Amino acid sequence: MIKKLNRRVAFASLTALGLAVGLGAPAFAGSHLLTLRMSTPASATDQRSIALEEVFAPAVAGFATYEPHYNGSLIAQNSELEAIASGDLEMSITSAQELAQFFPEFSIFATGYVHQDAAHQVAVFNDALMEPFKQTVEDELGVKLLSVMYLGQRHVNLRQTKEELTVMTPADLAGVNLRMPGTDAWQFLGKALGANPTPMAFTEVYTALSTGSVDGQDNPLPTVVDAKFYEVTNQIVLTAHLVDLNYVAFSKAVWDGLSADQQAIVQAAADAAAESGRQIQLQKEAELGAFLTEKGLEIYEPDMAAFRSHVQSMYLTTDASADWPEGVLDKINALGN
């Protein structure tokens, strides 16, 4: 908690300094195009990357050059927000879990079995309940959350064959070293699933699975295919424990230097990219089970009620929900089915 508070204060000051001295101040009038560097751990073939290149980039091309950096090659996973705050980066595809490092209340959007589907994510992001969250990130970190992108339903993906380990309830994951991304919110989710979470950057997961330094990882089916995790794992347990999202994060300092027309173009471009990526990702999720079965993976549903109740009670009976603003969970639930 102290660490988080320190980070929060430190970055509020850093952002104030960055804004005051004009770090990241854009030069985009006339023939001077603004460069929008975007860093993500995702690959160039991930649907979110493709959507930004194919939809966002051409829409802003009149005044900005979109410059994507993939596979964490420019900024390491989970450091992108600091980079935007300090003027070293203009855009990223961030997560609620990363934001929770600075603003613990964001963990509510990173909680298992809260978002119900892609449409629910959009309804929550566009609802008034989201305004104080967005405002805090803008004011204290200098980052604008433009739109919500759909990553998909995360499932547990293991090296063991189903014969070696069949997972029906959280108890079956006891002692399983499950790679989860390296922030507290992710690690807690791994524990809530009943596993032994191991923090690791996304770019290291394929090697860790192939050498057996972890037993498994969790990600949506399109990521399992895109990152070729199916080559080094044997089963997928369809836990659907997190309908995962990312936000299109944009430098507030750069935003403030845009004209009102340019801001409207950037906003519309981010929304259109998010919508395009969402539709393709949903289609892929529906189709890729068959592809993965062909590749030899065993795919099955566990006891969903057991997972849901174990995960939910872990959040509601521990400190994990202590920072959630009063009433927000009810509002999120009310926007679902």
Q: Sign (positive/negative) of CA torsion 174, 176, 97, 60?
A: negative
Nearer to ligand KDO, 153 or 223 (CB): 223
Nearest-angstrom CA–CA distance, 280 and 302: 26
Torsion of CA 221, 300, 208, 312, to 10 degrees: 80
> Minimum CB separation from ligand KDO for residue 45, in Å?
11
| Closest to ligand KDO by CB, 90 or 257 | 90
Q: Which is nearer to ligand KDO, 25 or 44 (CB)?
A: 44
CA-based nearest residue to 258, from 37, 52, 67, 33: 33
- Closest distance to ligand KDO from the beta carbon of 202 (Å): 4
CB of 218 to ligand KDO, least distance (A): 7
Cβ-based neighbour number of residue 231 at 10 Å: 12
CB nearer to ligand KDO: pick between 110 and 122: 110
Given the complex with ligand KDO, which of 34 and 273 has the nearer CB atom?
Answer: 273
Phi, psi of 290 (to 5 degrees): -65, -45
Q: How far is the CB of 80 from ligand KDO (least distance, A)?
A: 9
Q: Which residues bind ligand KDO (CB under 6 A)?
A: 40-42, 46, 93, 95, 181, 202, 219, 223, 246
| Ramachandran assignment for 39, one of left (phi > 0), alpha (psi -120 to 50 degrees), beta (any other) | beta
Packing angle, helices 2-21 and 131-141, rounded to 10: 70
Least distance from ligand KDO to the Cβ atom of residue 60, Å: 21
Contact 134, 125 (CB under 8 A): no
The least distance separating ligand KDO from the CB of residue 40, rounded to whole angstroms, comes to 5
Closest to ligand KDO by CB, 95 vs 234, is: 95
Partners of residue 69 on adjacent β-strands: 39
What's the CA gap between 140 and 30, in Å, rounded? Answer: 32
